[in-house]
Amino acid sequence: MRRVVLVTAWTWAGLVVAATLVVAVAGGIQGVLDVEKVGLLLMSPVYVALGLLIAVRQPGNRVSWLLFVVGTWFVVEGAADLRIGGQAEPPHPASIWDALAIIWLNSGFFFALIIPLFLLLYIFPTGRFLTRRWSWAGWLAGVVASIGFFVEAFATEIGPTDDTWTITNPIGFLEFDVENFSGLEDAPVIATVFGVGLVSLMVGGIPAIVTRYRRSNPLIRTQIKWVVYAMLLLAITLMSQIMFEFYQGFVAIFLFVFGLSVLPTTITIAITRYRLYEIDRLISGTIAYTLVVTLLGLIYAVGAVWLPTQLLGEQTPIFVAVSTLAVAALFNPVRKRILGWVDRRFYRAKYDAEQVVADFADRLQDATDLNQLTEDSVAVVNRTMQPTSVGIWVRTRQPQRDPRS
């Protein structure tokens, strides 16, 4: 079984990498690849490579297959977009490849990207559901994905999601309006099952990963923190894209690609490394610097924009200069205070360890019992470093023998 898994993983990865190169070359020849499309296309080998790494290290972990599916979505999405995306008029005559491209563009997002990411909350990091009671999520994901693909793949009229045009589906036989879930006798039922199922799958992942966290050992808890941290960063980057969509250029594209790449990276780190990095410290640092940037940005906005507008009716260079100098002067004091506050609230291990070591040093000055000292030493190591095992070797000096005896 291990050999079959490895052969499948390597073959899948090779096909995806080859397809990525073909799509990139074809897009370059057509001159339709911009920076954003290139960045998204590069996500395909990233997801697949990290999935392959997990498959090699842990062949039985199904998280690798979810990463394979997501990585495949990127490259197939790019190929479909090259064929159909941006066309103001329908292709004439429409071929089966045009229909497949439209079907993928409209439905692949759900069954190849969204649903695998939702399932990740149920099986991470072991690759299995916590108990058999949670296996309903796998069946529900199959039902939702099948509905989304079926109604799109076999509708008689299909087209881009913006409704600019439609084509006759050569494999379609359902008189069904995909955009409005209408046209069939059971259309309301289908729409209800699809909507409720998708929401249930998303909401159910929260108690699933919380329950696993509460029942797990410290190592798995740290792994779960990694994936939660990655999803938080992904949500922040996607929200920033939505809120500041008027910004264009390298920064916006970098944030978007970064949000997509951070999830598989942290998943792979959490699964493949036994000695994990200090995720608690990383989380507290992210929170702290987010607060620093937000506070200083607010100070700058008030001083450079709001205040001169209220007083003078327009922005002036002197207010901008003063606000810039104020932000520069406040950066270090604000950063130190906020880092200290966040560490006290979210990174208690640092302060607890320092307090434990200080208390132990005080007790060590008056310690006379070797057994009690040994127990205290083991307790200090467990509380501060949290090792998997700990032991103390005590060297006892043998009494010297009298040479005359």
Average pLDDT score over the chain = 76
Average pLDDT of the segment spanning 270-288: 59
Q: Where does the pLDDT of residue 127 fall: very low under 50, low under 70, confident under 90, or very high at 90 and above?
A: confident
Does residue 283 surpass a pLDDT of 90?
A: no
Distances (CA, A) of 112 to 159, 279, 326: 19, 29, 49
Mean pLDDT score, 109-134: 86
Assess whether pLDDT exceeds 50 at residue 384.
Answer: yes
List Cβ neighbours of 249 (8 Å cut-off, separation of 6 or more).
none
- Does residue 255 carry a pLDDT above 80? no
Report CA Rg, the chain.
29
Q: What is the mean pLDDT of residues 375-379?
A: 70
pLDDT band at 400; cut points 50, 70, 90: low
pLDDT at 383 over 80: no
**pLDDT the model gives residue 2:** 81
pLDDT tier for residue 286 given thresholds of 50, 70 and 90? low
Which pLDDT belongs to residue 312? Answer: 77
pLDDT band at 396 (very low <50, low <70, confident <90, very high): low
350 phi, psi to nearest 5 deg: -65, -50
249-261 mean pLDDT: 66
Looking at residues 292-302, what average pLDDT do you find?
77
| Rounded Cα–Cα distance for residues 73 and 109 (Å) | 8
Most confident of 196-205, 366-375, 384-393: 196-205
Task: Report, as an integer, the average pLDDT of 159-177.
Answer: 73
| Stretch 27-46: mean pLDDT | 76
Count of beta carbons in the 10 Å neighbourhood of residue 274: 6
Show the tokens assigned to 336: 């130190």
When comparing pLDDT for 69 and 349, which is higher? 69
At 369 the pLDDT is 65
Range with lowest mean pLDDT among 7-11, 126-130, 231-235, 275-279: 275-279
Whether the CB-CB separation of 293 and 331 falls below 8 Å is answered with no
pLDDT surpasses 80 at 74: yes
Q: Quick one: pLDDT at residue 309?
A: 79
> pLDDT band for position 276 (50/70/90)?
very low
Residue 305 has pLDDT above 90, yes or no: no
Own/partner long-range contacts of 129-138 (Cβ < 8 Å, ≥24 apart): 130/208, 130/211, 130/212, 130/215, 134/208, 137/201, 137/204, 137/205, 137/208
Tell me what pLDDT residue 274 has.
46
At 94-112, the pLDDT tens digits run: 788 888 888 888 888 888 8
Average pLDDT over every residue of 279-284 = 57
